[in-house]
Structure 1
């Protein structure tokens, strides 16, 4: 974790060096690019709806997409690049903590019914993007997932079975493309607060 903190701080001024300081990250970006895995993800804005500001510096946004082999025009980029790898290097506080916490704490993996360490970014035989996509796709396949029409788009919201303390895993897709996944402390409250259909969770 200390190494990830240091890389996140460095990414503010030197994103190339920051990514290179994490060999597993540079390798994952290259592997996912070669395998075409970013194509399963939709578009997202780097401007977070909760804080009203960018959660990544523009230079880091550009470097991550360059390594992923994707064209992106600030502030709209690939949701897999941003929500999986970009969030690991975000230092912007949000009401729910740092964006990376979903990947480096146990809440999300436990809520997905996975073993401890299932989402540890630097561990495992598969890249974090691959593991996240598999878990999100499984959630979105649930028969109780909600489908809504918003801005001419078809979105799907899925919540997994809650843990004993109430936390559930959420996955979100738009037009069949993955956008994000994260743990929800109070899924009942989230359902009650959804309101009118709209694009959610920074989808673009």
Structure 2
């Protein structure tokens, strides 16, 4: 299991030496190489690392650039591959948001359980396959639901999918634009989310 302390140490190192930060987490370096070789990042769309709730980048530019270089992806700050940033980049983000740290969705069991998966299903350094491969599969399953919400924004199609609610009402959300995954996270109250959607727009840092 990857500890929050290990991620904090890597995040602190990343500001000055992002290559060393990634190397300090051997599973991360291996996962990036595996996902790049397998073309898994192609299932994900584009996102900005400037969080809409915070109004600032949640990763330093040096780490943003290093992650994309290791993944073999071109990116123009602050817009890059959503899977790379939301799955792996968020693990090294220490920027507080109104919903806590971005990494919590992968380190706690809330999202896994909301997806109908066992505890630890999104553990970054353990499990079958890379974290990105597991997240992509879970997001694709949600997005295939017939009750997903489809929107059209400036000629671009988007889809918001919610899973079945747990006993406490929480569920999982997956979001895609133009058929490419943008993000996935747990939702405490899906009814509140549905009522607050308003007019169609690009959501959750999609670019």
Question: Would the TM-score normalized by the shorter structure come out above 0.5?
Answer: yes
Partner residue, 1:21: 24
**Residues in 2 aligned to 1:70 and 1:193: alpha-carbon distance in whole angstroms:** 35
Bigger mean CA offset, 62-71 vs 11-20: 11-20
Partner residue, 1:138: 141
Is contact 1:55-1:91 (8 Å) kept?
A: yes
Q: Give a deviation string over 1:90-143, Cα, whole Å, max 9, x none.
A: 011000000000000010000001011100000012000000000000000011
Is contact 1:171-1:181 (8 Å) kept?
A: yes
- SS of 2:19's partner is helix
Determine whether 1:120 maps to 2:126: no
Is contact 1:151-1:199 (8 Å) kept?
A: no
Structure 1 unaligned runs (5+)?
none
**Residues in 2 aligned to 1:181 and 1:167: alpha-carbon distance in whole angstroms:** 14
Structure 2 unaligned runs (5+)?
none
Partner residue, 2:55: 52
Equivalent positions of 1:31-180 (< 5 A) are 31-180=34-183
**Residues in 2 aligned to 1:43 and 1:61: alpha-carbon distance in whole angstroms:** 13
**Residues in 1 aligned to 2:176 and 2:138: alpha-carbon distance in whole angstroms:** 13
**Residues in 2 aligned to 1:92 and 1:152: alpha-carbon distance in whole angstroms:** 33
CA RMSD between the two structures: 0.6
- Calculate the TM-score normalised by the size of structure 1: 0.99
**Residues in 1 aligned to 2:205 and 2:139: alpha-carbon distance in whole angstroms:** 16
Aligned length: 204
- Calculate the TM-score normalised by the size of structure 2: 0.97
Structure 1 ranges of 4+ moved more than 6 A: none
**Residues in 2 aligned to 1:159 and 1:5: alpha-carbon distance in whole angstroms:** 31
Partner residue, 1:199: 202
Partner residue, 2:184: 181
